[in-house]
Structure 1
């Protein structure tokens, strides 16, 4: 009896295993078929719809970023041209140079800043800040540079933003330059003023250079008070270091003129051999 049982188990176990395996496949196939035929739930449909909306939003944002980058590049390039134009200023052509620089700045505002404003108005433009911040800083630098050379004063943030309001539609949120971008642009302004001061000294306009020196020193002092409140902004820290170097260069140049005044007589146009610079006798 035991031998018969062992023979039966030996002969039919593979058959039973094969049949069991086939049944498992049938059950699995039926389950898959059932799940394939199972109707989509409202939740699955809603998730797909939301995912599609988010994908469309990201695609539109990327397209907008590309357009903003292009507009920013134009603003940056043409703002630099305005700055180069202002550097041509001298005591003989001041009105002519500044008039052309102001016209060029108005063209930058009307042609290029207007494009940037239209791309960013009515949107969460802070999300694209890294795409346009350098263009805005360059524009602020050019605008403030023109204002200082014309009036000796600083163009403030409210005045710049007021000029941009005219470029925006009244029915949407307008683009407004934030405080950080404005201050970064003003920090860059000090570097251009340093170059202007050195150039004016070489042309004999020492008093104008001293005026620039005082103005730059005041900006540096005010930003020194504000910089600790900027959440350790790395960009501002770097510009503060550069600004200090600009202040030192202007001060050294002005100080050198006073100490070694007699060497600047040809530059100042004096032919009197007994000439004493600014009424101060030469140092031995």
Structure 2
């Protein structure tokens, strides 16, 4: 009897267990559903993020393209301003070469007036173009004009006072051209030295001209000045690894120094032969030291 009950209990238990819902199967189904939902959510999120990223990339690329276009347009205007500065600075230099014993003050007054006009018109235009920008990016575009301007300014200064116009003095004249709220355009050391190297060529031409007019002492003063510039630059240029232009100009500067020294040396050694020709009011023979012989 007991065995029969146990058997019936066992059968009932087995039937109950067999027909009872299996929790792990339900859990698996729920997990599968959750995974499917998560995949759909990730897919939708990835699509949204990809679309947003693509849009932001297009915007960034468009902004960069606009920046490059504006920079190229500005570069063209800066190149034009640099050419104007170069052309008008050369006119100042040609004006100074008209100097002589009789018209020194007149010529220098005119040259300094023309140089002031270059500053107020063309340098001002360059300053306005470069305000609010990183002017190092456009240095190659305006460097030739700035070098020519430095050459003209230092040339006028030497002919007026016999001294060198330094970089701080040049930059001081440019400060009033800039607005106080932005970083002012200042000539950098490299452009100043390149312009100074070109100055020696103009001084060589001036010295030869002064010798032909009989101003031998003035020519010797120019010779010493140019020699001092060359000597000082030879101490600096070896450390200027980023400027091949400066090293090339040093070779030209040495040629100018040699030409001036040879001219002054020739006048000093053989001055008695042709000095009367240079300074005398009456014609005389440089061979005999007497009045020209009629043939």
1:225 aligns to what? 235
Q: 1:258: Cα distance to partner?
A: 1.1
Contact 2:147 2:194 in 1 (8 A): yes
Per-residue deviation at 1:42? 1.6
SS in 2 for 1:212: helix
* Structure 1: gaps (5+ residues): 1-34, 276-284
Does the residue aligned with 1:126 lie in a helix, a strand or coil?
coil
Larger Rg: 2
| Deviations, residues 73-121 of structure 1 (Å, cap 9, x unaligned) | 1000000000000000001000000000000000000010000011012
Residue of 52, 73, 77 corresponding to 1:42 = 52
Q: Is it true that 1:145 corresponds to 2:158 in the alignment?
A: no
Corresponding position: 1:89 with 2:99: yes
Secondary structure in structure 1 of the residue aligned to 2:184: coil
Per the normalisation by structure 2, the TM-score is 0.78
Structure 1 residue aligned with 2:89? 79
Q: Which of 113, 120, 123 lines up with 1:103 in the alignment?
A: 113
Alignment match of 1:136 (pick from 146, 168, 173)? 146
2:258 equivalent in structure 1: 248
- 1:227 and 1:108, CA in 2 relative to 1: closer, same or farther beyond 3 A? same
Q: Which moved more, 1:202-211 or 1:258-267?
A: 258-267
- Kindly report which structure 2 residues correspond to 1:52-201, keeping only aligned pairs within 5 A, or say none: 52-201=62-211
1:265 to 268, 272, 276: 276
Structure 1-normalised TM-score? Answer: 0.81
Following the alignment from structure 2 to structure 1, what is the Cα–Cα distance between the partners of residues 282 and 51?
A: 97
Separation (CA, whole Å) in 2 of partners of 1:221 and 1:203: 28
What residue in structure 1 maps to residue 218 of structure 2? Answer: 208
Once the two structures are TM-superposed, the CA of residue 41 in structure 1 deviates from its matched residue by: 2.2
Q: Distance in 2 between matches of 1:170 and 1:227?
A: 34
- Give CA deviations for 1:180-216 in whole Å, capped at 9, x if unaligned: 0000000000000000000000000000000000000
Query: For residues 14-33 of structure 1, what are the structure 2 equivalents within 5 Å?
Result: none
Matches of 2:165 and 2:128 in 1, distance apart? 23
Deviations 1:2-47 (A, max 9, x none): xxxxxxxxxxxxxxxxxxxxxxxxxxxxxxxxx9xx6662211111
Contact 2:216 2:264 in 1 (8 A): yes
Quickly say closer, same or farther: Cα 1:123–1:232, change in 2 above 3 A. Answer: closer
How big is the alpha-carbon RMSD for the aligned residues of Structure 1 and Structure 2? 1.8
Contact 2:277–2:283 at 8 Å: present in 1 too?
A: no
Closer, same or farther: CA 272–195 of 1 in aligned 2, 3 Å: closer
TM-aligned CA distance change 1:199 to 1:47, over 3 Å: same
- Deviations 1:231-271, CA, capped at 9 Å, x for gaps: 15210011000000000000000000011112221212276
Q: Could you tell me which runs of 5 or more consecutive residues in structure 2 were left unpaired when the two chains were aligned.
A: 1-43, 287-295
Runs of at least 4 residues off by over 4 Å: 270-273
Cα displacement (A) at 1:71: 0.6
Q: Deviation string for 1:103-162 (max 9, x for gaps)?
A: 000000001000001101221111011110000000000000000000000000001111
What is the total number of aligned residue pairs between the two structures? 239
